[in-house]
Amino acid sequence: MGKRIRVQRIGRGSPRFRASLARRFEIGYPSQLITAGALRSGIVEDLLHDPGRGAPVAVVRADGVEFSIPAVEGMYVGQRLEFGPEATPTPGNILPLARLTEGAQVSTVERMPGDGGKLVRASGGYAIVVAQLGEKTILKLPSKKDVELPSKSLAVVGTVAGGGRPEKPFLKAGAKHYLMRARHRYWPKSRGVAMAVAYHPFGGGSHKRIGRPETVARTAPPGRKVGLIAARRTGRKKRA
């Protein structure tokens, strides 16, 4: 009888695979402060590190309310930010998408007005305003996907700071180990085809190929549920 394979050991939140970090900041801006026709302002009080987050966090105070947003490139402590439809579209200010011209770079974008900014918050990320279509605005996300959002949704002007972070090499296994442990990700990973047949459904044989279809049913038990789970199709799409 073989050992429990990786997907079984990870399970649904076993103690070993539970996030060990505790984030300090709740990211988002209070939309109720940014009312129609009112120009408000705030001050960047500090730029801090948030465990498990690649981008620095800017702590902003406006009208006695303190909130945190991912810092954008060029932001500094003591900077005065503007909020609202009448704000100037300069890095760090928060404006409705309708006020931005085509080609503008934005981050911390609201998917729906009032949610405080849920899209484009990773370090070095930005979305591009593609077009204004009445009450809708089309954005190109960092994934190169175009999305249509309400023009009343708010966004922070500028690119999230910390760009180029993934380009720095880890140099040693210990640095990668602590990163993956903080994010409760299984690491290092061994390929299933490199294991013995008792340890993985893809293991065994004097070859490094699976030797069977990689697709598996959605209802497969945990010991068998590896590979392409309930795949509707596999392989590359044929060009038209």
Residue 19 has a pLDDT of 63
Higher pLDDT, 179 or 9: 179
Rounded (5°) CA angle 112-88-85 = 40
The separation between the first and the last C-alpha atoms of the chain, rounded to the nearest angstrom, is: 49
How far apart, in whole angstroms, are the C-alpha atoms of residue 213 and residue 207? 15
How far apart, in whole angstroms, are the C-alpha atoms of residue 107 and residue 186? 30
The mean pLDDT of 6-26, rounded to a whole number, is 68
**Range(s) within the chain of domains with CATH label 2.30.30.30:** 31-165
What are the pLDDT digits (tens) for 82-99?
998 889 999 999 999 999
Residue 159 has a pLDDT of 96
Q: Report yes or no: 193 and 208 within 8 Å, Cβ to Cβ.
A: yes
Where residue 20 falls (left for φ over 0; alpha for ψ -120 to 50; beta otherwise) is alpha
Residue 77 has a pLDDT of 96
- The pair phi, psi for residue 123, each rounded to 5°, is -60, 135
Q: Which two tokens stand for residue 207?
A: 């070859």
Residue 55 has a pLDDT of 93
The mean pLDDT of 177-193, rounded to a whole number, is 83
Instruction: Judge: domain 31-165, CATH 2.30.30.30.
Output: yes
Give pTM, 2 decimals. 0.75
Residue 122 has a pLDDT of 94
Largest interatomic CA distance in the chain: 72
Residue 13 has a pLDDT of 58
Topology of domain 6-17+184-229, CATH: Ribosomal protein L2; domain 3 (4.10.950)
What are the pLDDT digits (tens) for 132-154?
998 999 999 999 999 999 999 99
Q: Is the pLDDT reported for residue 18 higher than 70?
A: no
**Range(s) within the chain of domains with CATH label 4.10.950.10:** 6-17+184-229
Collapsed DSSP state (helix, strand, coil) of residue 169: coil
